Structure formats: C-alpha cells, structure tokens
Amino acid sequence: MSQRIRVLELIYGFQVGGRGGGIGRFGIELCRALDRHQFDVYLCGLFDRGTSQEEKWLMQLNAEGIPAFYASKWDEQHPYRSFWNSIRFLWNWQSQYNADIIHSHSEFTDVAVLMLNLHPRRSIILRSVHYGFQREWRKRPLRRLLLTNFLYPLLFNTEIGVSQAITANLNLRPLAKLLKRRAQCVYNAIDLRRFQRTNLDWASKRMSLNVPMDAPLIGTVGRLTEQKGYTYLIDAAALVLRQIPQAYFLIVGDGELADMLKDQAYVRGIANRVLFTGPRSDVEEILACLDLFVSTSLWEGLPTAIMESMAAGVAVVATDIPGTRELVRDQHTGWLAPQGDASALAQTIQVALGDTQSRQEFANRAYQDVQSLSIKSIAIEHERIYSAALQGIRQSLATWSI
C-alpha cells in the first residue's frame, strides 16, 4: 500500500458565516471531500479572532476527524506581531508533522507559505487565487509587484485560478510567460448536499425573519465589505421600493461596513424594509425563501454565494463582472447588470420580479449548471494536482541521484 500524502490547507480564518466568506467555506469543504484513504488532511486558520463561530467550526471539524486549528491569536493593535507568531507556529508545526503539500487560499497565507519554503523540511507549495491577481494586494501595489508578479511564479510549485478569467490573468504575467509557468484552472465548488430540497416550513422561516408571506423578498449573502458593493444595493432598494413598496430586502452577513450600511438604509428611509440579519447558520433555508438573489460585487473570483443560490433554485441578478460572468449567463440563467450602477440594478430587479416565468426558467437552468460544481468532483481535481506535483518532485530527485 502506497504511503498517504500529508496535506496542510491554509485559510485566513474560521469566521465562515460571519466576517469570513466563501474562501474559508471552500477550504473547509475541500478538506472534507479529499479522499482520506490517500490523504492525511490538516486545516489551519492563520488568525483566531476569538469568536464563537470559529470555536464551533474547530470543534465540528475535529469531531469529523479533520485536525483543525489556528496559528495565532489576532491582535488588532499589533498585526505584524500576529503574523510573525503565525509563521513561528507553522514553522514548528512543519518540523513536527512534515507536510508533503501545503496549499494556500488567501493573500496572507500565500506569504506564510513562502516563508515555510525556507524550512529544512520543504514541502510542495501551491496557492489558489480566489480574487484574481489584479486585485491581490489592491491597496499595496508594491507588494503585488514583488509577490504576485515576481516571487509567486518563481517559487510556487503550482498556482491555481478558480475561474478562467483569473487563470488567464496569471498566465499573462511576464515572468510566468518567460518561465513557461502556466496556472491551472480549477473552479470553486460547494457541497450540493447542503441544498437538497427538504420539507422546509417556508412560512415559519419567513415569519422568523419578520417578512410577510406574500411580500417579494430580495436577498443577498456575504461579507459587509467594499468588495460586495452593498452601498449600490441599498440605493437600488430605495428605487425599487418606490415602485414595489411591499418588497423586502434581506442582507445576511457581517463585516466592517455593517454600521455604515445600516445608517445608509436609515437615511434613505427604508430601514424597515432592509433587514440585516448578521451572520446566520441557516443560509440554506434563508435562500430557499427568497424570490430573487442579488449579487452587487465589484470584483469576484468565482462567487460562492451565487453558486449557493443556484443550488437552492433561486433566480439571480448579479453585476456583470469577470468570474460572475462564468456562472450567470445573461437572460439565460439569470440577469446581469452593470457594476456600480444603482439605477440599472434597480431596473433589472424590477424586471426580474415582474417576470415570474423567466425567474423559474432561469433558476431551473442555473440549478442544472451548478451540478457540475460539486465539491466532490472538484476535490478529485485537487487530488490529481497534489499527486502529480509530488510525483514530479520525486522523479526530479531520482534523476539527480543517478
């Protein structure tokens, strides 16, 4: 029997469902889906922010037999110290466990993995790019120049883009082209079993959300950050409510812009129709109650929230941006609207709400499309990449030893 491959998956943290987003969820689901007969899988969050959500995820994953842990406590006053403490922890962890593969899923974990590349017990290092390299280190262009465009194509064994747009951008980097280092495209995925249609008490769920049973309900799920473009959603909601005053808008999630967005809804006079739920553990049930899901993101890799809506059978309106465009085909599996345009978004929402037949047809087609993005099938792609990378290193070592 061949020796099992030891894999360390690195995510930013375990705040899934709160301030964490789809990337953390993907890292968790990937660990769950990898073949335990071939792989020993470990999952590390770079920072612990001390929330109950993180504690629940750690307990649940460890109960499932997936060793899950964090590298360091996050100290808001000393971010560099927090990061250094994470590096020290991971260095010591690698000394003890000697991972064959270390796979990074965020900007900060990418840097941590580069530091681990100096470890005497060197691993094969990979990174998945979830946002697109043009948006990496968006506020730190010098870091992007040094890391994304120079060190990453030089030092990572494999780079993975989660959409065709991201992969194409990675392959356009001058050094990557010079070295003939081509990124591989492996889509994001979700656990479709979470959205298997069950006997949901739709009326009770709406009642628990304080939404009337006959009210049009438009919702979104995500981190309350600049990237998600929720300021445009609230402005659009104000315009929609002028024409459809019985509608409700639901925003599920948490983030640094929470207070600002609530204030914006209050100033627009729609605070009683824009409901902020905070983080929820019943997202699957909430999605099933929506008449329409809206994504207003300004940039995305391959958005998990849209995949989840498709799996829940909910029609989607989304901004016309790379990544999203690979999921939503305009006027076929959903509606696309220009990014950053509240008026156009409002008009598109009104069109979608007014066309029940198209909503159902688009949702049905989208549901069929998303079946190919099962975490089980995508995990097999990762297993192939891990095994091929390890085999390539072993063959190189054998050649050098001759």
Q: Identify the bridge partners of residue 185 per DSSP, sorted by sequence position.
A: 161
Q: What is the pLDDT of residue 137?
A: 83
Percent of the chain with pLDDT over 70: 95
- Domain 194-373: which CATH number of 3.40.50.2000, 3.60.150.10, 3.40.50.150, 2.130.10.10: 3.40.50.2000
pLDDT single digits (tens) 234-254: 999 999 999 999 999 999 999
Domain boundaries, given as residue ranges, for the chain:
5-189+374-401, 194-373
pLDDT higher than threshold 70 for residue 256: yes
Q: Which amino acid is at 31?
A: C
pLDDT single digits (tens) 14-47: 988 655 578 999 999 999 999 999 999 999 999 9
Same fold, 5-189+374-401 and 194-373: yes
Query: ∠ at Cα 132 (131, 133), nearest 5°?
Result: 125
5-11/101-104 β-pairing: parallel
pLDDT single digits (tens) 106-118: 999 999 999 999 9
Return the residue matching tokens 């050094």: 175
> If you average pLDDT over residues 219-229, what whole number do you get?
95
For residue 125, what are its two tokens? 């290092």
CB 187 within 8 A of CB 163: yes
3-state secondary structure (DSSP) of residue 123: coil
Question: Model's pTM, two decimal places?
Answer: 0.91
Among 318, 316, 328, 319, CA closest to 291: 316
Cα-atom radius of gyration of the chain, to the nearest Å? 22
CATH superfamily of the 5-189+374-401 domain: Glycogen Phosphorylase B; (3.40.50.2000)
DSSP 346-366: HHHHHHHHH-HHHHHHHHHHH
> If you average pLDDT over residues 380-395, what whole number do you get?
87
Q: What is the pLDDT of residue 217?
A: 98
pLDDT higher than threshold 60 for residue 57: yes
Q: What is the pLDDT of residue 401?
A: 45
pLDDT higher than threshold 70 for residue 394: no
Q: Beta-carbon neighbour count of residue 180 at 10 Å? A: 8
> If you average pLDDT over residues 197-209, what whole number do you get?
82
**Dihedrals φ, ψ of 295, to 5°?**
-115, 120
